[in-house]
Amino acid sequence: MPATPKKTNPSMLDVARHAGVSIATVSNVINRPEKVSKATTEQVRAAISELGFVRNDAARSLATGTTSSIGMVLADLDNSLFVDMAHGAQQGADAIGLRLLLGNAACDLDRQDDYLRLFDEARVGGVLLSPMEDSLAGIERMRSHGRPMVLLNYDQDGIECCTVLVDNEEVGYLAARHLIETDCRRIAFVAGRDYYQPVHARRVGVQRAVREAGGAVLEEIDTDGLAFEDGVAVARALGERSTAQRPDGIVAVTDDIANGIADGLHAALIAEVPGDISIVGCEDNRSARSGPVALTAVQLEGAKMGQAAAELLLEEMNNPAGEHRHRTVVVRPGLVVRASTAAAPLGV
Amino acid sequence: MPATPKKTNPSMLDVARHAGVSIATVSNVINRPEKVSKATTEQVRAAISELGFVRNDAARSLATGTTSSIGMVLADLDNSLFVDMAHGAQQGADAIGLRLLLGNAACDLDRQDDYLRLFDEARVGGVLLSPMEDSLAGIERMRSHGRPMVLLNYDQDGIECCTVLVDNEEVGYLAARHLIETDCRRIAFVAGRDYYQPVHARRVGVQRAVREAGGAVLEEIDTDGLAFEDGVAVARALGERSTAQRPDGIVAVTDDIANGIADGLHAALIAEVPGDISIVGCEDNRSARSGPVALTAVQLEGAKMGQAAAELLLEEMNNPAGEHRHRTVVVRPGLVVRASTAAAPLGV
DNA sequence: CGCGCGGATTTAAGCGCTTAAGTCGCGGAC
DNA sequence: GTCCGCGACTTAAGCGCTTAAATCCGCGCG
């Protein structure tokens, strides 16, 4: 066993010696096989596998000044939206032969910064970032180093960066319209934290849908937060009303709230979902599964966002720094109908 | 705008010139600040931030022959088990100042191989791999390059590697014992594909729990596969029986089957869960959320596994190749009680 | 028989960093 | 007054690869 010390991995030089050729030839065999004669190629190949040679990427990228990978820093892998984004980005990266390296910030700003720095030092071709709030500093640092970067789901002024956003107004619109199409007329929009940009946009979308529909009325119910419990509280409040006073269709601004409402309604036997009240959530997050009924929801299409981001990044990577104009692409959300809303009436 | 070409990022040499010192001093400021005088340090620091210098990690690791990151290749990020593993590994890596790079194979063997190769070429300190079936080739290649690696959730003979496994027998045991403790006496174990090692182990665990308990009987129900529909089919079959002939507690070998059963029972009004029949799933996967009732399940403790793996990896990284003895650590699963089983009787 | 040619290979100059081995001054000990 | 030691810095030799330029060599041609 101690017979094979195998201290350091073999280098190209070792391969070259082993094959009786020069180091440049080995490099050529690997990178431009067409420049090397058949016979030599064979020998070198043999030497490579005999020695178990693996090209040292550090040296390679030092010599060429390029990398074949891009980095992606995700705010929270526990949230399926980000997993979807990773998928989409993967797709996009694959299409052009780039490797996607993932870093999970796990909701920790420091860690997000760590990864940003790591990717910066690793001189990746570019970075995809789904930033947490207050990520400005890290973003600007990266930008100032001239590294291509695109932001996902971060709608903030004054950012000089390509960005992929979801059309949150459309999210609200689709949710409300679905309710209306399934014959709900007393619509409620349940939300908190209106200063939060996505919340506000969804509200506007809901309002528009109701207005357009005519014949439907909209009630806006405020919550303290955006969590399950806030939904439960709303359900409780609804329980105090007479049946006629209750909405017959609810758009909750998050899946969690939606599930909370459904659970509250269900547990206290206040109303049947969707029999008495239909509920639509927003986001369609796989980790929000706390409710008693499968939730109809408007999904954010993380995969599309990821892919769009990868394409944007590529665009920036391929353009000389001066030339590039930052763009924002807005991804349209989609409705996923499940059990928490009545099926659309036949023939509609 | 074209005034600042900022072609390539500044190098240490640039910083050195800018600060009027030698390149070695710059390096020292960064790596061994105690060897440099206060004043010089200041100057260099200033130059660094003025130029926006970022150390080139490729060059660094080429020069030192080390990296500060380890790679992790996950079979499928859509499966929360792997997300949990990533978390755990992250934890473990953080603790010792290593950076964890993630690659998502997304159930694609080629992609898994790609990532393995990428990490190999990047000379990461080591690799954590949750392999898919038939990953032998990639594993051996990596091993033969002498790169430290530990496997997660891959119980296969003839692998020369540290491994982290879950105690699947315990999984079955815990599930069945929970049912028994909540007063179920006619236990059913629902599973398919017994040739699949985890399935078989869980079966053995269930059998042991029932045997130990005494007074309970075990029925083993076979399914074709391990999916939701297979559970639905079982529910249907149960519907044909008289109530007395039905089990009062079911261990399903996967969450999906468990949810299928619950859904089938519920939809066809065959039985109440947990009123008439309690159900326990295995795995506790967040993406399995198709059921009508929150599932009690035995969870695989992905986070613990990830952390254990990171520790094992560290152990191997710190030991001279010859010295290291491969080990296998087995993580004990845990029970998560939710709504699909009756609460334990008071006082038990 | 000498030339020019072109394909096959080698030479050598870096890429940006680390680090062992100097160099340089300067103050204190003898 | 000389010399040593020491702190603060610089020199220079790589790390393993890429690549442009140089070299080599066998051939067909005039």
Could you read off the pLDDT of A315-335 as tens digits, one per residue? 999 887 677 899 999 999 999
- The pLDDT tens digits of the residues spanning A159-170 come to 889 999 999 999
Is the CB of B35 within 7 Å of strand D? yes
Q: Which nucleotides of C are covered by protein (CB under 7 A)?
A: 7-12, 14-21
Report the distance separating Cα A258 and Cα A202, nearest Å: 14
Contact of B39 with chain A, judged by CB distance below 8 Å, is answered with no
The more confidently predicted of residues B2 and A217 is: A217
Question: Is-cis flag, bond preceding A274, omega within 30?
Answer: yes
Domain A168-300 has what CATH class? alpha beta
User: Do A6 and B321 make contact, defined as CB atoms within 8 angstroms?
Assistant: yes
Residue B323: its pLDDT value, please? 80
User: Do A52 and B145 make contact, defined as CB atoms within 8 angstroms?
Assistant: yes
Tell me which residue in A5, A55, A90 faces B106 most closely, judged by beta carbons: A90
User: Do B62 and A59 make contact, defined as CB atoms within 8 angstroms?
Assistant: yes
Is the CB of A36 within 7 Å of strand C? yes
Q: Where in chain B is the domain with CATH 3.40.50.2300?
A: 69-167+302-332, 168-300
Of A174-188, B23-37, B277-291, minimum mean pLDDT range = B277-291
Contact of A113 with chain B, judged by CB distance below 8 Å, is answered with no
Contacts of A86 in chain B (CB under 8 A): 77, 104
Contact of B233 with chain A, judged by CB distance below 8 Å, is answered with no
Query: What is A69-167+302-330's CATH number?
Result: 3.40.50.2300
To the nearest whole Å, the CA of A137 is away from the closest chain B CA by 14
To the nearest whole Å, the CA of B140 is away from the closest chain A CA by 11
Tell me which residue in A61, A83, A122 faces B78 most closely, judged by beta carbons: A83
Which residues of B spanning 61-120 put their CB closer than 7 angstroms to strand C? Answer: 62-64
Q: Are strands A334-336 and A328-331 parallel, antiparallel or unpaired?
A: unpaired
Is the CB of A24 within 7 Å of strand C? yes
pLDDT band at A348 (very low <50, low <70, confident <90, very high): very low
pLDDT of residue B166 exceeding 80, the answer is yes
- Hey, of A77, A228, A325, which one would you mutate to test binding to chain B, going by the most B CBs within 10 A of its CB? A77
Residue B290: its pLDDT value, please? 64
Residue B348: its pLDDT value, please? 40
Residue A310: its pLDDT value, please? 97
Contact of A325 with chain B, judged by CB distance below 8 Å, is answered with no
CB-defined contacts A:B, below 8 A: 130
- The pLDDT tens digits of the residues spanning A121-135 come to 999 999 999 999 888
Contact of B290 with chain A, judged by CB distance below 8 Å, is answered with yes
Of residues A162, A133, A135, the one with CA closest to residue A147: A162
pLDDT of residue A59 exceeding 80, the answer is yes
Residue A244: its pLDDT value, please? 93
Using the structure, give the distance in angstroms from the CA atom of B55 to the C1' atom of D5, rounded to a whole number: 35
**Where would I find the H helices in A186-296?**
197-213, 228-239, 255-267
Using the structure, give the distance in angstroms from the CA atom of A27 to the C1' atom of D29, rounded to a whole number: 36
Using the structure, give the distance in angstroms from the CA atom of B63 to the C1' atom of D15, rounded to a whole number: 4
Using the structure, give the distance in angstroms from the CA atom of A281 to the C1' atom of C17, rounded to a whole number: 53
Three-state SS sequence of chain B: CCCCCCCCCCCHHHHHHHHCCCHHHHHHHHHCHHHCCHHHHHHHHHHHHHHCCCCCHHHHHHHHCCCCEEEEEECCCCCHHHHHHHHHHHHHHHHCCCEEEEEECCCCHHHHHHHHHHHHHCCCCCEEECCCCCCHHHHHHHHHCCCCEEEECCCCCCCCCEEEEECHHHHHHHHHHHHHHCCCCEEEEEECCCCCHHHHHHHHHHHHHHHHHCCCEEEEEECCCCCHHHHHHHHHHHHHCCHHHCCCEEEECCHHHHHHHHHHHHHCCCCCCCCCCEEEEEECCCCCCCCCCCCEEEECCHHHHHHHHHHHHHHHHHCCCCCCCCCEEEECCEEECCCCCCCCCCCC
Inter-helix orientation angle A80-95/A302-318, to 10°: 40
Q: What is chain A's mean pLDDT, rounded?
A: 91
Of residues B113, B108, B116, B105, the one with CA closest to residue B82: B105
Residue B3: its pLDDT value, please? 35
Report the distance separating Cα A27 and Cα A24, nearest Å: 5
Q: Where in chain A is the domain with CATH 1.10.260.40?
A: 12-55
Of residues A47, A63, A58, A37, the one with CA closest to residue A13: A47
Residue A4: its pLDDT value, please? 41
pLDDT band at B5 (very low <50, low <70, confident <90, very high): very low
Q: What percent helix, strand, coil does chain A show, rounded to 5?
A: 45, 15, 40
What is the SS3 assignment for A52?
Answer: coil
pLDDT of residue B347 exceeding 50, the answer is no
Query: What is A12-55's CATH number?
Result: 1.10.260.40
Other CB atoms within a 10 A radius of the CB of residue A245 amount to 10
User: Do B52 and A144 make contact, defined as CB atoms within 8 angstroms?
Assistant: yes
Using the structure, give the distance in angstroms from the CA atom of A54 to the C1' atom of C5, rounded to a whole number: 37
Nucleotide nearest to B39 (CA to C1'): D8
pLDDT of residue A50 exceeding 90, the answer is yes
Report the distance separating Cα A166 and Cα A305, nearest Å: 8
Q: What is chain B's mean pLDDT, rounded?
A: 91
Is the CB of B17 within 7 Å of strand C? no
Is the CB of A63 within 7 Å of strand C? yes
Contacts of A57 in chain B (CB under 8 A): 58, 118, 121-123
Nucleotide nearest to A12 (CA to C1'): D16
Which residues of A spanning 20-79 put their CB closer than 7 angstroms to strand D? Answer: 23-24, 27-28, 30-31, 53, 55-56, 59-60, 62-64
Q: Which one is the CATH code of B69-167+302-332: 1.20.1260.10, 1.10.10.60, 3.40.50.2300, 3.40.50.300? A: 3.40.50.2300
- The pLDDT tens digits of the residues spanning B135-149 come to 888 899 888 888 999
Tell me which residue in A61, A145, A322 faces B58 most closely, judged by beta carbons: A61
Mean pLDDT of A141-167: 91
Give the DSSP letter of residue A108.
-
* Amino acid in the structure at residue B117: R
Percent of chain A exceeding pLDDT 90 equals: 79
